[in-house]
Structure 1
């Protein structure tokens, strides 16, 4: 059984790699193929009567590691300088405002349509309001540099702000001044941890001369994240800050300690680390979505009782996005369609305590929203023609 399993896993990952390579030409998001691949494997397993462990139990593990790597990869791509100031500010508001508006409207809708209280309704609404950087960023590689940067910044900020808001609501049964003071203290603590850890890890990257050092650094990053999560700190903020810090060492070269790190020499190691993170992110993301596809059932996908709610949410999501783009004076096409839900939606849904879940929000609703937003993104990307191509038509 060992060798067939090894062959199967290797074959699936290689097939996923082929999907990733061809997605630039087909403009079909790789995640569509991965979900179909996972679902197809399940059909074969059931057809041959093979016994398998409950793979759904692995989703939170690969999802958490995937989220860390995706945010870290995004941070390692972000540049912080005067030229990017307006883009960063715009991205923060582009992520924050739709998130708040969608959370309020969808949360109130859940409250009206179910017997849940307001807090439970908002907690269940947030997973549907976050753009998945795990899907958005890899899907826009063929767009213009400006659009790619905007999607990278916006989706990364959406992940971070969404997770922080979700954890804030989960950790506070009653809202009050104390809750916000405690939250502010948590932010200060994680900022201090992020600063100290980023400097320490950068120092280790420079000083360790052993031929194996980047994997241990990555394990330290995951370890710091896990410990911070145990103490209910917004740990993803550390991941983002660490990535941004490494990618922008030249911007801090006037600081004495940073000069000691020799930013120009360290850039070589940071480049190697970025490549490793990108490779690991591809692997974990691939496994996660294949596993998720494996857990999909035909009944949950075509559940008619949740379909109207899914359609309502999607219509409102894209309405808010359209208004946001118009206010920001951005071209609505193709950015309007780049609002997929995915890994982060699944992870937050699985993180909702059973005592706080509402009957209206189930696996069918989550699956339908994810699939339809991805399909709409695919249609938008396939219909998009770059300006250069338009000139020749």
Structure 2
């Protein structure tokens, strides 16, 4: 199935069909085939959060490795950060208020259930933007990576604080300071290891250490994705920090070549994990969930809200509507946050059906938008 997923991924820039739709379809078809032939397959649902978490780590890391840091990027970083944060918060509160109004669940429970739908999936956005102009691809990489980070931090903040008070924000500030300290120490340590390991197997241990540091940071309720993003930016732009004596010891000229190899391996592992996640999620989809008429109105309303708000803020931040409007898919991060909603905070209205429908609606909208963008370019050239 990974070979099939690879074919989908390679052909996606040509067909403009997001590979996620095809992967979900293959996973679903395997489930139907297993049921038809009476093949007993064990419950695979407990594996989904594990694969999803590893996938999220690698996707954010992969995106950060590709980004270039220099003074000219200041405006794009600020714009993409605001574009990922402000609409996410407004949309989350808007959906939460609607949940509370129609279901009486309370604003906090509404927020916990709404945030997963407000976060752009970098897993889909970055891979789907590969055929765009460099400036758009870079913007989408920044925006979707920031969206993942802000979304996870915002979600965890609401989940862990039953009452929002000054103490909540004080504790949160302390957590940010702590993760920044951990990030500096871990980044320098891992960069040093990467430059000194001479064994043939050197990149996989670094990836495992990254996952380990992320896991330990999560155990202490620290926003660990910040570490992943900063570490990726640092080693991907090491030549920009030559003025620091520590960086000189890493021999940047040699180190950059090693990072290129590391990036290639990361890309391949990330693809495998991402494909496994969506194939497995597709396998776990029930046909009745996909065709659930009770949630389709809500899913459609949230879908419309996402892109109305996006179009407004693209204009506010003076970004091109075409093609950026279309690339705001929901996917891995939506699923991952949804399945980690605490049992006591889950509301009946927000279920697998709504998650699947919104993922598919945003993916189809992105597909149509990219097709229109591509055809318009061909007509003008």
> TM-score of the superposition, structure 1-length normalised?
0.95
Q: Distance in 2 between matches of 1:368 and 1:387?
A: 28
User: Is structure 2 residue 232 aligned with structure 1 residue 243?
Assistant: yes
> Residues 341-392 of structure 1, C-alpha deviation per residue, up to 9 Å, x if partnerless?
0000000000101101111111111111111111111111111137752334
CA contact (8 A) 1:24 1:142 kept: yes
User: Where does residue 271 of structure 2 map in the other structure?
Assistant: 282
Q: Distance in 1 between matches of 2:178 and 2:294?
A: 45
User: Where does residue 115 of structure 1 map in the other structure?
Assistant: 104
Task: Note the residue ranges of structure 2 that are not aligned, 5 or more in a row.
Answer: none
1:230 to 195, 203, 219: 219
User: Where does residue 208 of structure 1 map in the other structure?
Assistant: 197
Q: Compute the displacement of 1:330 (Å).
A: 2.1
User: Where does residue 155 of structure 2 map in the other structure?
Assistant: 166
Task: Note the residue ranges of structure 1 that are not aligned, 5 or more in a row.
Answer: 1-11
Equivalent pairs, count:
381
User: Where does residue 322 of structure 2 map in the other structure?
Assistant: 333
User: Where does residue 354 of structure 1 map in the other structure?
Assistant: 343
CA contact (8 A) 1:78 1:244 kept: yes
Q: Compute the displacement of 1:331 (Å).
A: 2.1
> Residues 93-150 of structure 1, C-alpha deviation per residue, up to 9 Å, x if partnerless?
0101111110111111111111211111111110000000000110111111111111
SS of the residue 1:309 aligns to: helix
User: Is structure 2 residue 48 aligned with structure 1 residue 59?
Assistant: yes
Q: How does 1:37-116 map to 2 (within 5 A)?
A: 37-116=26-105
SS of the residue 1:385 aligns to: helix
CA contact (8 A) 1:143 1:386 kept: no
Q: How does 1:368-379 map to 2 (within 5 A)?
A: 368-379=357-368
User: Where does residue 167 of structure 2 map in the other structure?
Assistant: 178
Q: Distance in 1 between matches of 2:238 and 2:38?
A: 55
User: Where does residue 390 of structure 1 map in the other structure?
Assistant: 379
CA contact (8 A) 1:221 1:239 kept: yes
User: Where does residue 299 of structure 2 map in the other structure?
Assistant: 310
CA contact (8 A) 1:198 1:242 kept: yes
Q: Distance in 2 between matches of 1:389 and 1:367?
A: 33
Q: Distance in 2 between matches of 1:386 and 1:250?
A: 39
SS of the residue 2:40 aligns to: coil
SS of the residue 1:384 aligns to: helix
User: Is structure 2 residue 116 aligned with structure 1 residue 130?
Assistant: no
Change (3 A) 1:388 1:308: closer
> TM-score of the superposition, structure 2-length normalised?
0.98
SS of the residue 1:157 aligns to: helix
Deviates more, 1:258-267 or 1:189-198: 258-267
CA contact (8 A) 1:114 1:359 kept: no
CA RMSD across the alignment? 1.0
SS of the residue 2:322 aligns to: coil
Q: Distance in 1 between matches of 2:152 and 2:226?
A: 10
Q: Distance in 2 between matches of 1:52 and 1:115?
A: 39
SS of the residue 1:340 aligns to: coil
Q: Distance in 2 between matches of 1:173 and 1:385?
A: 47
Q: Distance in 2 between matches of 1:387 and 1:265?
A: 43
SS of the residue 1:51 aligns to: coil
